[in-house]
Amino acid sequence: MIRKLLVAAAFGLAAGVSALPVQAQTTLDFASWQLEEPGNADWWKAVIAAFEAENPDIKIGQTYIPFADYLTQLTIRFASNRAPALLQISEQNYGAYAAQGWLAGLDDHIKGTDIETGWASAQKDLTWDGETRGVIVSNSSLMLFYNEKLLADAGVAVPTSFAEYQTAVAAMTKPDSGVFGLSAVTTEHPTVAEDLHRYIGYAGTSVIKDGKYNLTSPEVIAAVETYRNVVGKNAPLGNNSAVARQLFVDGKTAFLVDGPWVWSWLEKATPEMRPNLHMVRTPWDPPQAPGGITLHIAEGLDEATEAAAWKFVQFATKPEWQREYLIITGQPSGRASSVLTAEDVEKYPHLQLISETSAAGVPLFPTNQAVRAYFNEYSAILRATALKVLTTADPVDKILADAQAELERAVPLN
C-alpha cells in the first residue's frame, strides 16, 4: 500500500513539474565580420555575454563571416530567405541592402530614445525611403599621423594647413635614402577610391554637384592633379593599406592619413621608434568620415523577434557599452557627445582627440541614394580612375571625362 502511495506521489510530482511553465528562449542570429578580429571581437563577445546574462530568454547566435566574403554571403542569405535577424554592415555598403527592402524600418523603435536626439550627424544618412534603417555603432573620422624625428631631422615643421601639408610631404621624399613623404594606398584596393575622394574634398568640391556628376569641372580636375602630384610623386607605388601602415610604423614614411584604428598599429612599433609617431586631427577642415559601422535588423521578422532584436540594439548602444567600445577598439562610438569619464580622458588622451574629431566629421562619400544602392559599381569605377591617375601619364581631364561617362551609364543619378 505504501509503495503504491509513493508511486502515486512521484507521478503527481512529475506531472506537477511538467505542468510548470517553461520560459521560451528566442535565438537571434547575428552576422558580423568582426567576431574574430582582435579588439572588435573582444567588445562584441563581452556585449553579447552581458546581454544574455541580463536577458536569459534571448540568445545571440554568432555567425562569423570573413570580411572578404561578407557582402556576398549576406546577399546569398537574404536572397534565399535565410537572413540573420541582426547584422552588421559598413555604412557605405548598407544602401545595397536597404534598396532591396531587406532592412527593417526602425523609426517606431527609435522615437523617444536618445538615438533620436543624441547621435552623430551621420545617423541621419541611414534613412532610406523616409525610414531609418539602422543605427551607427561607430563613426570614425580620418586623422593625420606623422613621424616627429623624420620631420625634425629634415627641418620640416608639422603642417597647420593643407598647403603646408603638400609642401612638407614633398620635402620629406628622399627615395635614394629609402624615405618617402607619404604612406598611401597605391594599388588595386578599395581605399584607393577613398583617397581620390579625399583630395576632391580637400579642394572644397565634390564628385556630385546639383544632382549631377561633377568630375569634369575645373575644380575637380585641379583637385585630382593635386592627388597625382602629392600621392603619385611622394608615396611608394604598389602598396595596399596594410603595407602603407607598416611602412609608416617602420619609420620609412613621414606622414599617413588614415583612421583612428591605426593607433593600435603604432603600439607595434619598436621601442626606439614608438616615441616618434604621433596622431593629430587633420589640420584642414572639416574632418572626413569614410563610413562607420552600422547595426541593422532584418525586414520581415515576427513582432516578438523584432522586439528582441531591438532590445539587443538598445543594449549595445548604451553609454557604458559605447564607452567600452571606444576604450577596447580605439574607435569612436556613434554618439554625438563624449562617452569618456574625466579619468578616461586623463588616462587615454588620444581617445578624447579621436572622439572630438569624429563628432565634427562629414561623410567622405556621396550620400546620394543611387550611389549608395550601387556603391560597389560606383567605387570600382573610381578605384580604376585613381589607379590611372597614379600609374599613367594620361591627361587628368581625359581620365575624369571617361570616368564620368562610365558613371553616368553604370550608376545614373536620375
Pairing state between β 253-258 and 180-183: parallel
Give the model's confidence band at 1: pLDDT under 50 very low, under 70 low, under 90 confident, else very high: very low
Cβ distance 298 to 103 under 8 Å? yes
What's the pLDDT score for residue 20?
44
pLDDT digits (tens, 9 = 90+) for 201-240: 999 999 999 999 999 999 999 999 999 999 999 999 999 9
| Predicted confidence (pLDDT) at residue 255 exceeds the cutoff of 60 | yes
- In order of 86, 132, 185, 273, 363, the CA distances from 119 in angstroms are 20, 13, 31, 37, 15
pLDDT over 70 at 93, yes or no: yes
pLDDT at 376 over 70: yes
Closest listed residue to residue 207, CA positions, set 185, 224, 232: 224
- Delineate the domains of the chain, giving CATH numbers in brackets: 26-140+291-363 (3.40.190.10), 143-289+368-410 (3.40.190.10)
Interacting residues of 2 by C-beta distance below 8 A, sequence separation 6+: none
